[in-house]
């Protein structure tokens, strides 16, 4: 598991750590004397690498894991970028995060790994588990009284999950209604074309 420092957040140009005091809040540019202008000096390869590193960091994956998603997506019929992002979004840790049941993907990964969630009534310890349409995701009954979830219902009152996920905010059970919408691609602070170009060299 990677734990990113704020310096790395600044280098990536995107907040990926869990800290509320992240330097990216006040200094949203890479570190160093020429940080504010560094992006304009990047080569094409440098830009591709930076975008790949950013997307990998957002989902908290190691290079080998991340590369597998690209390889699998590139072998499928369809738009590679959309397929790859769909696979990343369907990861259980990401779904838990998207449902508002964890504040960050990193926290969601930890909660899943410690067995606090069940998929279709079966305790699941794998953050990389690929959730399918129709799958039910729930906080284990034995975990709901724990301190980490004591305020979750209050937090969820002001939270709305994406349209492809359904959530019962009182019972803390949810369902993947359908595959992730491609509209979320527009929200990503990443140039996906650069990521694909990096791996297609």
Answer whether 107's CB lies under 8 Å from 18's CB: yes
Decide if 182 is inside a domain: no
Distances (CA, A) of 83 to 73, 88, 121: 5, 9, 27
Q: How many domains does the chain have?
A: 2
User: pLDDT digit string (tens) for 100-117?
Assistant: 999 999 999 999 999 999
Instruction: Give dist(CA 30, CA 10) in Å, integer.
Output: 4
Decide if 51 is inside a domain: yes
Co-location of 95 and 171 in the same domain: yes
Co-location of 119 and 169 in the same domain: yes
Decide if 184 is inside a domain: no
Decide if 75 is inside a domain: yes
Co-location of 132 and 58 in the same domain: no
- Among the ranges given (52-66, 84-98, 125-139, 174-188), the one the predictor scored with the smallest mean pLDDT: 174-188
Which residue segment(s) compose the domain that 117 sits in? 91-176
Co-location of 107 and 53 in the same domain: no
Answer whether 177's CB lies under 8 Å from 161's CB: no
Co-location of 131 and 195 in the same domain: no
Average pLDDT, the chain: 88
Q: Percent of the chain at pLDDT above 70?
A: 80
pLDDT above 50 (res 188):
yes
Co-location of 71 and 118 in the same domain: no
Mean pLDDT for 38-43 is 68
Question: Residue 183 — pLDDT band, cuts 50, 70, 90?
Answer: confident
Compute the C-alpha angle 152/155/158, nearest 5°: 145
Mean pLDDT for 55-83 is 95
- Three-state DSSP state, 22: coil
Q: If you ran DSSP here, which 8-state letter would residue 157 be given?
A: T
User: pLDDT digit string (tens) for 17-34?
Assistant: 656 566 666 666 666 655
Query: Is the backbone of residue 134 left (phi > 0), alpha (psi -120 to 50) or beta?
Result: left
Q: Which residues contact 17 (CB under 8 A, 6 or more apart)?
A: 3, 4, 5, 6, 8, 9
Decide if 183 is inside a domain: no
Co-location of 35 and 51 in the same domain: yes
Co-location of 29 and 48 in the same domain: yes
What's the half-sphere exposure (Cβ side, CA atoms, 13 Å) at 172?
22
In this structure, what CATH number is given to the domain that contains residue 166? Answer: 3.10.290.10
What's the half-sphere exposure (Cβ side, CA atoms, 13 Å) at 7?
2
Decide if 185 is inside a domain: no
Instruction: Give dist(CA 110, CA 87) in Å, integer.
Output: 20
Co-location of 164 and 119 in the same domain: yes
Decide if 37 is inside a domain: yes
Answer whether 139's CB lies under 8 Å from 172's CB: yes
Decide if 15 is inside a domain: yes
In this structure, what CATH number is given to the domain that contains residue 194? Answer: 1.10.1050.10
Co-location of 169 and 194 in the same domain: no
């Amino acid at each position: 598991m990677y734990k990113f420092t704020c310096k790395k957040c600044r280098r990536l140009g995107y907040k990926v750590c869990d800290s509320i005091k992240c330097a990216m809040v006040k200094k949203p540019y890479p570190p160093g004397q020429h940080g504010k202008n560094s992006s304009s000096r990047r080569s094409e390869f440098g830009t591709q690498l930076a975008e790949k590193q950013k997307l990998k960091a957002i989902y908290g994956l190691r290079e080998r894991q991340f590369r597998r998603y690209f390889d699998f997506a590139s072998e499928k019929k369809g738009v590679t970028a959309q397929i790859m992002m769909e696979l990343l979004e369907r990861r259980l840790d990401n779904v838990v995060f998207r449902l508002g049941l964890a504040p960050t993907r990193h926290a969601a990964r930890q909660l899943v790994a410690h067995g606090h969630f069940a998929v279709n009534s079966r305790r699941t310890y794998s953050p990389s588990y690929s959730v399918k349409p129709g799958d039910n995701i729930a906080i284990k009954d034995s975990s709901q009284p724990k301190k980490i979830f004591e305020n979750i219902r209050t937090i969820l009152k002001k939270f709305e999950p994406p349209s492809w996920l359904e959530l019962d905010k009182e019972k803390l059970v949810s369902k993947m209604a359908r595959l992730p919408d491609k509209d979320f691609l527009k929200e990503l602070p990443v140039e996906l074309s650069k990521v694909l170009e990096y791996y297609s060299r």
